[in-house]
Every structure is written in structure tokens, then in C-alpha cells.
Structure 1
Amino acid sequence: MTSMSQPTSTLQRPPGRWGVLFAAIWLVFLLDPARVAWEHRDTAKGDLGLIATLVFAGVYLLLWVRLRADRARLVVHPAWGEAAGWLVAMAGLAVTMVWSLGEAGTASAVYCAVAAVMLLPFVYAAVLVLGIAGLVIVLGETRPTWDSGFGTAFGVFAAALAVFGIQQMLLRNIELVKAHDENAELAVENERTRFARDLHDILGHSLTVITVKAELAQRLLDVDPSRARTELADLERLSRDALADVRRAVEGYRDVSLPAELARARAALAAAEIRADLPNSTDDVPSEKRELFAWVVREGVTNVLRHSGARRCSVVLTPTSVEVRDDGRGSAEASRGSGLTGLQERASLVGGTVVTRTLSPGYSLQVVVP
């Protein structure tokens, strides 16, 4: 039987070390500001630039680790407050690097653009990337000792575009995993529904027959002890059969036998002192329809015993239909029960329809399969 435990996402696992190593490799572009800071380590600006560069690299790595953990939990973007915190921290360190190291500090602009793409939805990230690239160009054009900022701006765009492509691939993977989890949850829910329906069909019939026979045996104890003992023996047999049916349902076996259901119906109706008009042969029913027809007989006869107060019940079999009919007061309660819903689900799987009719007197439950 299919397990009914909750599905677990395949991506929900601790992130490995390779992603951090991949991010650390790209810190190579911070070597130039670190070199410049080291060359001016005897000055306050040089020391400040070196510290800012090292802290900037550490913050970038921490951000990468944090976002990988979010992806492992299927989180697409962090909360706005958290994203703003990361970006403000990196922007502050980048400004410090530019102020203390000059043109070399603009290498931080590429990492800020990458962080924006990773942290923000596309529209907001695109605006921020354009702003960063524009600022780099303006600085390059307005500082007389600096080279043109178009090269760095191109690096900002290239890095942002590359990370955007990687991010889209990760997002597609997340969507696939979520879709897989939803399908797994639906499968679990369908299995629960199937199991509940089968238990209703099996136990509802068996317990109804057991109740009828127990009432009959109680009435016969004083007037016909011999027959009462026979009915009690049937009670034991029926309870064992019910236990076996439940075990089969738990194990996932759903097959029922049409001849067996007709035999059970005959015994149950006789015990309830209801005249039974049942077919003696099922040879005309195609093999692929017998299981469904067996469920119809089981549900229909159970409803006759439980609700109708009938004196006569008949079952009519044809190659394309099965009908359970009684002359009682009508089984309105049955038409609202989960048993009829289960029959409708079973019938729909093979293109069949369920037809219920109130007769005068009586009630008819019919399933037709073309």
C-alpha cells in the first residue's frame, strides 16, 4: 500500500561546501583593491581600505551561504527587511573602499550588483544594477585621474546577467520540486480517500449484516435455540470475514467477487426476513465490469438492510448494468451517504453512470456501463 506519510522535498537538505568554494573563487577580483590597500598600509586610508575590503569579502561569502540555505528550504527571496540589511551593509563597505582606495575600490560595484540580483525580484534588481553601473560611469568620467568607468560598468552588467541566469535555473528547480511535493501530497490525499471509501464499503456492509443476524439470534434464543446457534455461528464467520476484508483493504487489495457478493446478499437478506430475488449466474457480465458490479450489489443491499424497511429486494444483472431494487419506503438516507459517492467515483473510472430512482413503492440503485 502506498505510504501515507507526508512527502519530503528532495532539495531540503544541508547545502554542501562546493557552492561556497564557487563563490570564493570570484573574490579574486578583490585582489586589486587589497593590493592597493596593502601598498598604502602605512596610512590611515590604506588600513581602513584593507579592513573594508576583507570585511566586504566576508559579508559577500556569508550572503552566499545564507542564500544557498534559503534555496535548500525552497525560499525564493528573503524578506524585504533582510534583503535591505544585506544591501545596505555591502553598500556602506563599498563606499568606504572607494573613499579610501580610489578607483580600485570600484571593484566592489560588481559584487553589489550580484547581491542585488540574488536578493531582490527582477524589476527592483534591474533598477539597482542600472543605478550601480551609471554611478561607476559617472565616477570614471568626473574623476580626472581615473580611467573610464565603462569597463567596470560592463563587468557589472555581465556579472548581473550571469547570476540572473543561474538564479532562473535554480528557481525552475524550486518550482519543479514544489510541483513534485504537491503531486505527492495529492497522491497521499487520494490514497486516504480511497482507504476511507473502501473501509466504509467493507465495514458498512459487514457490520450491518452482523447487526441484523445478532438481532435475529436474540429473538430466536427463546423460540428456536437451534436456529439461534446457527445464526451465532454465522456471526462468528461473518466477523472473521470482515476482519479478513479489512486486512485486504489495509494491504491495498481492492478486488471483490460478484458471485461472493451475491451469496452474501442472499444470506443477509434471508437473515433480515427480506425476500431475495437474485440472479443465480453472473456469466453474462464481462470480466472487466464484475468488480464494479460487486461493489454496487454490496452497497445496494447494505442500504436495503439499513434504511429501506423492505419486504422484497431484487438484483438485476445485464452485460452493461446492475440494479438493486426494493419495495420499501425509499433509501433517501443512502442517497446522501458516502457509499453512493464511492460508487460514483468507481463508475466514473470506467465511464459508467450511477442512477438512483424513487419507486412507488421502493427505491432503485442502478449503475450503467456502456
Structure 2
Amino acid sequence: MERFLWMLAVSAYSVLVLEAVAGADPWPAIVTGAVFTALVVAGWWLLPGRSRGWWAGYVLVQIGLGLVMFGAAHALWGGTLLLIVLVVQVAELLPLGVAVAVALVVPFGHAGMELGKGLREGVGMLVAALMALVVTRLLRRERQTRLALVRAHGQLAELATAEERNRVARDIHDGLGHYLTTVQMQVRAGRALLGRDPQRADAVLAQAEEQAKQALSEVRRSVSALRAPRLPLPDRVERLARETSQSGLPTTSLARGACRALPAEVEEALFRAAQEGLTNVRRHAQATQVQVLLQYDPAEVRVVVGDDGCGDAPGPSGGFGLTGLRERVTGLGGTVVLDSVPGQGSTLTVTAPA
């Protein structure tokens, strides 16, 4: 939404400039429009987390400046679009009441016109502003609902895991505990009989041995229950990409080459590489799309996470996550390379021998 609003604001300002230069005195509209557009962009950093005083000050300044800009632009399309951008921004970042107030105020830019024309133009802008407000709020609610569903899905998965562990713990306590208690009693009885009745002691110890075998079977069954079946690496990466898309960042996954079984530590390192790469993109890249490539070559396998974000150069350490990933992969004899091109995006390439 942030990137979309920037593009919308710049496009609206471009329309304003084109309209202004066709008139006799373009500079008042160009200058006020530039300041208004700059404040719209800066509002994404100024408003979130601020107090109501900040909100009120920003909205009042933008409404006043917007009405001046609208008049300087002679109420043409460029000025109208910039005022609608303000409504969209306030509807996205501030409470609904503030957004409604802004939508009701912006049509007053037509107050200086001839009554009939001003009324028609004002009503038209009011309808456009209210429609922009409603659509923005609906999109905001849909995005919040999607994120809540993703979080709820994760919580349900954790709850199911906890319940399964509790069940296995109860099975171990009730089953294995019973067998071990029985074995202990039988060994104790066998030792007591060993001196005076070796034949009977042997029978008791044989029963203890049988109970011990059953206890071992119980342990193996419980351990098998704990080891949930693991999906192949391409399926795990695809599911990770799908979950990232559901959180609001369009992500695709692609597997190339002949998929084959990998050592557990190599597979885990490559999966963690994809996970860390997508996490960094969500946090820092301001990207609109991401692609995860899983490439199987004869002697190695690599994961490539590429985005179209801001491409800021990484710091000297690359962050704790990237540092830990590098240590994990280097220990396996692999490599981690992060390439960034400002304004074009970043590519994380992790290669491991296989």
C-alpha cells in the first residue's frame, strides 16, 4: 500500500505540473503541489506510532496546503487527484473518524467558484473522496484479516504439536512406566530366589526380560510418534513461499534439476536459508514480489532468494540471522552470498555440497 500511494501521489503531481505549465502562471501550483506531495510521502514515517497531536497537526497542515494548492491549480484534475491521495493516506493510517472528516472537508476547495458549478464539482469530489475512503478501509481490513488468519494458523499448528507431545508423554508415563515398574519388581524377586530356588528365579527373570522387551517396543512406538513425517525439501520451500504470499508479499517458488534425498543437516540448512531470506525481504526490502529458486546440480544444491525491493547494501555483519546462516552453511563446506543493487533489489544465494 505504501509503494502504491507513493506512485499515486507522484502521478497526480505529474498531472498537476502538466496542467500548470499550460497556464499563464504555473509556479504557485507547481511549488505548493511539490510540498504537498513531499508531505504525503513523509507522512508514512511521521504518522505511525505518533500521538493525536501529531495527527491533528499533519492533517490540518495538509488540508490547508491542499486547498491552497487546489486553488493555485485552478481546480483542475491534478489538484483533485492530490486531495484524493490525502484521503487515501489518512484512511490507511489514521482512525476512521479522522478520515471521514478529511473526506468531508476537501470538497470545500470549490467554494470560490460560481455557485452552480462549485456545487456540482464539490459534490463530485465528495463522492470520489468517500469512495476512496471506503475502498481503502476495505482493503485495510482484508489485509488485517489475512494476517490474522496466518497468525491463527501458526497458533493452531503449535497447539496441535503441544497436544501431540502431551499425548505421547502420557503414553510414556502410563505404558513405559508400568513396564519398568514390573521389571524392577521381577528382578528384585528373582534375586531373592536365586540362592534357594534357581529354577524359579530363572522363570521370574525370564518374565522380567520379556517385560523389558515390551518396554523397548513402547519406547520405539513413542519415538516414532514424535518423528512426524517430513515433506521433501521442494514441498517445504513451496509451502514457505505460499505462507509468505498469504502474509501479503507475493512469492513464487521454483525447483530445477533432479530432486534427490539430501543429508538431514544440508536439507535443514537450505530450508533455513530460504526462511531467512524471505524474513529479511519482509522486514527490510520493501519489495512487491519475491522468487525462491531451488537448484539441484550434480555436486551441489543451492537456494536463491531474489526480490525487486530497495536493494540497500547490507551492513558489515548482515544481521544475526544472516550471520548464523553463514556459520551453519560454512560448517557444511558451503557458501552464502548476498548481492544488492540499490533500487533494483537483492539476491541471497546459498550453496551447499550434496
Structure 1-normalised TM-score?
A: 0.47
Higher relative contact order, chain-length normalized (CA < 8 Å, sep 6+): 1
Structure with max Cα Rg = 1
Structure 2-normalised TM-score?
A: 0.49
